[in-house]
Amino acid sequence: MKRLAGSLLLILCILSGVQATPADSLLAGPKYVLVIHGGAGTILKSQMTPAKEKAYIAALEQALKAGYAVISKGGSSLDAVEAAVRVMEDSPLFNAGKGAVFTNEGKNELDAAIMNGKTLEAGAVAGVTTIRNPITAARAVMEKSQHVMMMGAGAEKFAKEAGLEIVDPSYFYTEDRWRGLQRAKAQDSVKAQLDHADTAKVSLLGIANHDYKFGTVGAVALDKAGNLAAATSTGGMTNKKFGRVGDAPIIGAGTYANNATCAISCTGWGEYFIRLSVAKTSSDLMEYKGLSVKDATSEMIMKKVPALGGDGGLIALDKDGNMAWPFNTAGMYRGCITADGKVEVKIYKE
Ligand code: ASP
C-alpha cells in the first residue's frame, strides 16, 4: 500500500514537473522543535488593545527564541523548555513567576513541573512563594533530589540550598493581578445571585467564575538527539483558596513527556485536568490506541474536558516533530518554531 502511494506520488511529481524526492519526505509536514503556550481562556480580540497584543506577541517570540537557541546549537530539550519558560516567568504578562495571580488571601503561590521524555524522570514544586523561577526549582527537584514533588516551605528551603534565586514574596506583586483578585471577589458575590448551580460548583473550588484567562505558561521541545521534554509553570487560579494546587505540577495531569509518544503542557481549569489525567491519557491514547498527537489531544480537550464542564487547552509535540495545540476556550497564547527556525505566534481562534 505504502509502495503504491509512493509510486503514485512519483508519477504525480513527474507529471507536474516537480523534481522527484522520496515519497516519505513529501508526505511529512514541517518538523516542529519547540511549542509554547502562555495560557488559554476568554482571550478576545475585542478586549485587546493593539499595544497589549504587541507585547504578548513579543514576549512569546522572545520565549521561542530562547528555547530555539538551545535546540539549534544541539542542546537538550530539557534546557530548551526551561529557557523558554523562564522568559515567560520573568514577564509580568503571564500567570507564572513575576505575573502570578493572587490567592483569596492575597498571596502568590506558584506551581511548576518539568519532565524528561527520555528517562521519564520528573520534578515539581507546589505552593511556593519565594522562588523567582519555579521551573528551575522543579528541575532541581528532578536532578538533585530523590523525589518528584516538593511543596511549600520545604521546597523553598531545598531551592535555596540548591543555589536558586530567592526573592521576597512582594516581588510577585503586580497591580494588574491585584485588581484581578478584587474583580474576582466582586464577581463571586454577583454570581451567587445570578446562578446558584454554577456558583455552588465554583465556590466549592474557591474560584470566582470560569470565564478567566488561564495565564499558565508551558513549553514542549524535541532536540536533535530525538528527546522530548515538557515544562509548565503557573500562579494557579485567581482567588484560589486554602493551599489549592492545580494540574500544572501534577505529572500526568498538566505536564507529561515520554519519548515513545509525546510531550504535553496544559492550561485551563486545573481541577478537570487532574480528574482526567489529561496529559498522560493523551499519551496513552497514542501508545495504546495508536492515535496521532492531534487526535489524542483533541479527544481530551474538545470532548472529555468539556463533557465534565471544564475548559482549557494544551500544547503537544510528538517524537517525529508533529505538533498539536487544541483549546476549547476563546483563545490561547501560543507559538511554535520549526527545525529551520520558522516562527509562528497566535492568540485567538483561527
Ligand atoms: N491550569 C492552571 C491551574 O489550574 C491554571 C492555568 O492554566 O492558568 O492551576
Active-site residues, by number, are 216
How many CB atoms neighbour CB 254 within 10 A?
A: 32
Place of cell 480580540: 45
What pLDDT sits at residue 282? 98
Using a 6 Å cutoff on CB, does residue 332 contact ligand 1? no
Å from CA of 162 to ligand 1 middle: 27
Å from CA of 211 to ligand 1 middle: 13
Using a 6 Å cutoff on CB, does residue 234 contact ligand 1? yes
What pLDDT sits at residue 188? 63
The pTM of this model reads: 0.88
Burial of 332 (0-12, 13-18, 19+ CB in 10 A): buried
What pLDDT sits at residue 237? 85
Pocket test for ligand 1, best of 232, 234, 329 (most atoms within 8 A of CB): 234
Burial of 106 (0-12, 13-18, 19+ CB in 10 A): exposed
Question: Do residues 290 and 298 touch, judged by C-beta distance below 8 A?
Answer: no
Task: Name the 3-class secondary structure at 232.
Answer: strand
pLDDT tens for residues 203-214?
Answer: 434 444 444 567
Closest ligand 1 atom to Cα of 213: 8
Using a 6 Å cutoff on CB, does residue 75 contact ligand 1? no
Closest ligand 1 atom to Cα of 271: 4
Å from CA of 315 to ligand 1 middle: 14
Using a 6 Å cutoff on CB, does residue 237 contact ligand 1? yes
Å from CA of 224 to ligand 1 middle: 30
CA nearest to 59, candidates 101, 91, 100: 91
Using a 6 Å cutoff on CB, does residue 325 contact ligand 1? no
Those residues whose C-beta lies under 8 Å from the C-beta of residue 15, and which sit 6 or more positions away, are none
Chain CA centroid to CA 15, Å? 45
Using a 6 Å cutoff on CB, does residue 130 contact ligand 1? no
Question: Do residues 143 and 123 touch, judged by C-beta distance below 8 A?
Answer: yes
Å from CA of 237 to ligand 1 middle: 6
Instruction: Compute the distance between CA of residue 227 and CA of residue 207 in angstroms, rounded to an integer.
Output: 37
Closest ligand 1 atom to Cα of 235: 9
Closest residue CA from atom 8 of ligand 1: 214
Partners of 343 in the beta sheet? Answer: 337
What pLDDT sits at residue 28? 67
Using a 6 Å cutoff on CB, does residue 268 contact ligand 1? yes
Q: How do strand 213-214 and strand 32-41 relate by DSSP bridges?
A: antiparallel
Pocket test for ligand 1, best of 36, 85, 216 (most atoms within 8 A of CB): 216
Using a 6 Å cutoff on CB, does residue 95 contact ligand 1? yes
How many CB atoms neighbour CB 197 within 10 A?
A: 7
Using a 6 Å cutoff on CB, does residue 232 contact ligand 1? no
Q: What is the set of domains in the chain, with CATH numbers?
A: 29-348 (3.60.20.30)
Instruction: Compute the distance between CA of residue 100 and CA of residue 92 in angstroms, rounded to an integer.
Output: 8
Q: Which one-letter amino acid corresponds to residue 342?
A: K
Q: How do strand 323-324 and strand 312-318 relate by DSSP bridges?
A: antiparallel
Low-confidence ranges of the chain (pLDDT < 50): 1-6, 8-25, 189-211
